[in-house]
Amino acid sequence: MSNDFEEKLQLYKKGKLNQDEIAQIECDIDKFIAISDYLNNDEMDFLEEMKQNTPAGNVDDNRIAKLLKRRVNLKIIMLTAFSFFSALVIFIFIYFTASKITTSWFGLDYKEAYVKREIMVQLSQMFQPKYKSYRSGVDTSNFAQQNIKVSLENTIGNTKIDETEISVRYSFGKPVKSRTTVVPPLIFEDFSHFVAHESNSISGFKVLENAPKGTKAKIFVEFNKALTSQQIKENFINKISNIDTAPLDITPIASIDSKFVLANPSYYQVRSIFPYDANNTKQLEGNGLRQNQYENMDDEAHKESLIGNLNLIKSNLKLLQSMYYEDMFKNINIDDMIKHVEDNGAEYVGMYISADSKELLNLKGSPLIHCMGVENIVIW
């Protein structure tokens, strides 16, 4: 709208125009109204056409568009969730498959685990002769991680005095770390044979004398010189009347070249190979006979048992160090120890023995006893 028209419109409202100007302005007003009506009608037609060409839901706050958007978003979420769970399932499958393959390639199989348990039991009884093992097991986790546990019990007859456990973690078939919290003193730490100390062969027997009948005791005897297994039998075992059908519970302590001590549990009962394979039958032949000879304190059987135990240490040194101390046998030549035993046989400087308290009194007065102490005593 021009400024001239607006001025004339103001004059028209005030009645200051002549007849010709009034007629002219009224004609212009009619034209403006007609144009305005046309534009308004055209806009309504356009809006109506838009309504006809657009889904009805768009008129009502675009509900269909919002619904479609929600469906698209839901589909995206579902696809994302499906992709995530698919990836998770694939990852879990790959993880456990890789773990299974790794364990089968590098971990201990059931035969190897059986043998390692047997070896751990034998090693523990060499260095912790107060204890015997009746239970052991293997826990297996992912990626060739295994844990071998050996339960050790200090018993007299059927009475359990105390117990402990040795646990070693294997990684990819190799011993790497002990999980044992507290290790009781080992025999070479607890035995003072190489340190000069006074003889005390009487006081220990006073405990047995004061013990009531029907008690059973475990005692430790230290000899005043090295003895063979036959000498132990003649001077000690034969003096004790054993009412049990089983042999006396005796664990001899060997000294090797006056430098090292360890127990000599029977090597003929350890399964250093898997015993249930037909191929291993030959290697185990004769063990029953040798065990009988060992129990009868045969010198040759004890010598071979000690050599077998030393070879077991040599071939499982890493396992032994994982069980106890990393520096065990670090400065000791095991081959020299084996050679010494081959030349001199098994030389014993002490023993643990369990029997009836009153029967053990028969050992009193032996000139071969340097010291004797009662470890445990129970009513049986």
Q: What value does the CA radius of gyration of the chain take, rounded to a whole number of Å? A: 48
How many Å from the N-terminal Cα to the C-terminal Cα in the chain?
Answer: 126
Residue 211 confidence (pLDDT):
87
pLDDT for 236: 93
User: What is the per-residue DSSP string for 209-236?
Assistant: HHSPTTEEEEEEEEEEEEE-HHHHHHHT
CA distances from 114 to 63, 142, 254, 271 (A): 71, 19, 27, 9
Strands 132-141 and 145-156: antiparallel
Position 196 scores a pLDDT of 55
Dihedrals φ, ψ of 212, to 5°?
A: -70, 160
| Residues 129 and 263: beta-carbon distance below 8 Å | yes
CA distance 158 to 155: 7
pLDDT score for 51: 58
pLDDT of residue 60: 56
* CA torsion, ordered 365, 366, 367, 373, to nearest 10 deg: -80
The pLDDT tens digits for 134-167 are 888 888 888 888 899 999 998 887 888 888 889 9
Which tens digits make up the pLDDT trace of 294-322? 999 999 999 999 999 999 999 999 999 99
The mean pLDDT values, 10 residues at a time, for the chain of 380 residues are 69 73 75 67 59 55 69 85 90 86 83 90 93 86 87 86 90 83 77 61 84 89 93 92 70 89 92 74 80 94 96 94 88 92 95 91 91 86
